[in-house]
Amino acid sequence: MTDCTPLPWDIAVVGLGIRGIHQMTREVEETVRRCAKTFVTDMALGVVDHLRTLCPEVVDLSSAYRPGNHRVLIYRQMAAQVVTAALESPPVCFASYGHPKVYCYPTTLIQRAARVLDLKVTVLPGISSLDSLLVDLNLDPALDGLQVYEATDLVVRERPLQTDAPCVLLQAPIVLDAFNSGGVPRVDDVGRVQEYLLRFYPPDHWVTLLVSAVHPLLEPIRKGVRVADLTRALRQAPTVSTLYIPPVGSRPVADRELAERMRLPDTGNGNGPPRRPGRPPIGPRAE
């Protein structure tokens, strides 16, 4: 791909990864180079400066996160800036931390507006918080599956949880905070998460609050806590923390004929995933 090659899109939406420039793909870098303007929502150290070496004009959208503004309004303002620039002087780029289709609402808004305005959009993936979590917790979703929910959506819709499958709860410390208020979360708000989880899990069930490292020289932050103590822990946790809930036990094999055909041993007691005798436990442990 050369700089003189016509581009088949007006807006490129790209993911920068969790560790900023250290996880930026070559595909993303090449795309940014070919854009007239790049809008970025990544406050990691050095990201904006690096993008300015690739693109002639870089707009930092972090100032849009004003305390007290409704989050949807913030995302609409971001999307409007990107789409307006694409109408005036394409191609432009919207660069988000993580993966641009994992809990990144501006991407959805940009795509919706582009359809109405006959603009072409391409989306390029990045390493998401879920990708980092699988490594930080040594978790393989092939064993028991994986449930992923946003905390506010979970409690508002009362989505059912399966206690025999791992669960990832995103944005738990800012549950029910629609106005980007900042500061210490309200007890009543984070208490809703604990109250809801207690419908499914025993009070002494251990969960993990995780913050993945945003730089190669940093280590992920893990904190183990019982469900009964979750309210206090969420009020003290960084707002970017992710809540991981391990299964209470494994689901026993229901169809033994199929299990035998696939050579899957059945633990028979629901205390762990099927495994060959003598193999050590696999997966994250509460700390």
| Alpha-carbon distances, residue 45 vs 22, 48, 78, 134, 248 (angstroms) | 11, 8, 21, 24, 39
Q: DSSP 3-state assignment of 121?
A: strand
The fraction of the chain above a pLDDT of 90, given in percent, is: 72
Mean pLDDT (the chain) is: 90
User: Among 96, 124, 127, which residue's Cα sits nearest to residue 19?
Assistant: 127
Q: Single out the residue in 94, 127, 160 at which a domain terminates.
A: 127
Residue 225 lies in a domain: yes
- The pLDDT-based confidence of 48 (bands split at 50, 70, 90) is very high
Residue 285 lies in a domain: no
Q: Tell me how many degrees the CA angle 143-22-207 measures, rounded to the nearest 5.
A: 35
SS3 assignment for 162-181: CCCCCEEEECHHHCCCCCCC
Q: Which domain holds residue 144?
A: 130-261
pTM equals 0.86
- If asked whether residues 81 and 153 sit together in one domain, one would say no
Tens of pLDDT, residue by residue over 229-277, are 999 999 999 999 999 999 999 888 889 899 889 887 665 444 444 455 5
What CATH number did the domain enclosing 117 receive?
3.40.1010.10
Q: What is the identity of the amino acid at 268? A: G
Number of structural domains found in the chain: 2
- If asked whether residues 176 and 134 sit together in one domain, one would say yes
Strands (E), 42-124: 58-60, 92-96, 121-124
Q: Mean pLDDT across the stretch 20-43? A: 94
- If asked whether residues 178 and 233 sit together in one domain, one would say yes
The secondary structure element, H or E, covering residue 14 is strand 11-15
Report the b/e string of 89-120 with b at 16+ CB within 10 A. ebbbbbbbbbbbbbbbebbebbbebbeeeebe
First to last CA, the chain: 48
Tens of pLDDT, residue by residue over 134-179, are 999 999 999 899 999 999 999 999 999 999 999 999 999 999 988 8
Q: Single out the residue in 127, 160, 185 at which a domain terminates.
A: 127
Residue 276 lies in a domain: no
Separation of alpha carbons 201 and 199, rounded Å: 6
What CATH number did the domain enclosing 148 receive?
3.30.950.10
Residue 286 lies in a domain: no
